[in-house]
Amino acid sequence: MTAHHAKDLELNDCDALELDGVGALYKQIEKAVRAEIMSGRWPAGHRIPSEHTLMETFSTTRATVNKALSKLTEAGLLERRRKQGTRVAQTTESHAVIGFLDIRKEIEDKGRLYSYRVLAADRIIAGKQTGIWPEVPAGTPLLKLSAVHLGFEKAEVVEERLINLQAAPEAAEADFEAETPSTWLLARLPCTRLRHTIRAEAAMGEHSALLDIPARSPVLVSLRQTWADELPVTWVKLIYPADRNEFVGEFNPLQP
């Protein structure tokens, strides 16, 4: 990349920064940069405009710009390295080990626009190909889904799911892009039992392509099964890039 091209990219990034006019100037710059990072428009590793470019853009001093960037560095959103500039830090997002995962809420809480896209939906019959879900008897009709959870149209989680059509026959005709399978199922069937397993895997080709990570990259896999009384309802596999995610559980025996 030429120095001229790099300068153009910096100026384009500066044009995207919107100050809200509220509070001290360093605070406005901090909020504007934070918004670009949290929205995903400036992803991990993105080199942000130099202090000098920011000074010129906002007609301010180096001390003001430095204070804004220092606050973001302390918050873990930026990495500043001598002679290498300032880049967006690689962040780790936390997910609950216990209870249900609300992926939509997690993505929206980060300030990103959420969407859910079904890549494939097929009716199959339980048998050898569904050995991953041995609790369902052979011959049971199932709906097999492949989908992605997106933030600003960028895939953040890959989902593979099986739904027992004996438990929820209407699922075969449901519009899961309008209402995600988890929400749809919980609204219709009580969850009386949930089993959760977390493990590490290497991303398969199709998954690495969807998540835009190198092939065979480590991923964290959340495997969940639910029942309504004794009836198996759904089996779901959620695939997360390992370098950006973690699972956290907390149990307090003193809480009712």
Q: Do residue 60 and residue 83 come from a single domain?
A: yes
Q: Name the residue among 149, 142, 150 with its Cα closest to residue 169.
A: 142
The answer to the question of residue 142 being in a domain is yes
Q: What is the pLDDT of residue 142?
A: 98
The structure tokens listed for 9 are: 């990219």
Compute the mean pLDDT over every residue in the chain, rounded to the nearest whole number: 87
Q: Please write the tens of the pLDDT for every residue from 126-135.
A: 998 899 999 9
The structure tokens listed for 208 are: 């690495």
Q: Is the pLDDT of residue 34 over 70?
A: yes
Q: Which domain holds residue 208?
A: 93-248
Q: Do residue 135 and residue 10 come from a single domain?
A: no
- The CATH code of the domain that includes 122 is 3.40.1410.10
- The proportion of the chain whose per-residue pLDDT surpasses 70, expressed as a percent, equals 90
Measure the CA–CA gap between 19 and 26, rounded to whole angstroms: 10
Q: Do residue 161 and residue 66 come from a single domain?
A: no
CA dihedral 225, 227, 233, 235 (to 10 degrees): 0
Q: What is the pLDDT of residue 191?
A: 85
Q: Do residue 70 and residue 99 come from a single domain?
A: no
Q: Do residue 46 and residue 140 come from a single domain?
A: no
The structure tokens listed for 119 are: 């890549």
- Single-letter amino acid code for the residue at 116: Y
Q: Please write the tens of the pLDDT for every residue from 162-171.
A: 999 999 999 9
Q: Residue 181: which pLDDT band, with cuts at 50, 70 and 90?
A: very high
Q: What is the pLDDT of residue 163?
A: 98
Q: Please write the tens of the pLDDT for every residue from 75-109.
A: 778 888 877 789 988 766 666 555 667 899 888 88
Q: What is the pLDDT of residue 250?
A: 72
Mean pLDDT of 198-219: 94
3-state secondary structure of 20: coil
Q: Is the pLDDT of residue 1 over 70?
A: no
The answer to the question of residue 77 being in a domain is yes
Q: What is the pLDDT of residue 44?
A: 83
Q: Do residue 37 and residue 121 come from a single domain?
A: no
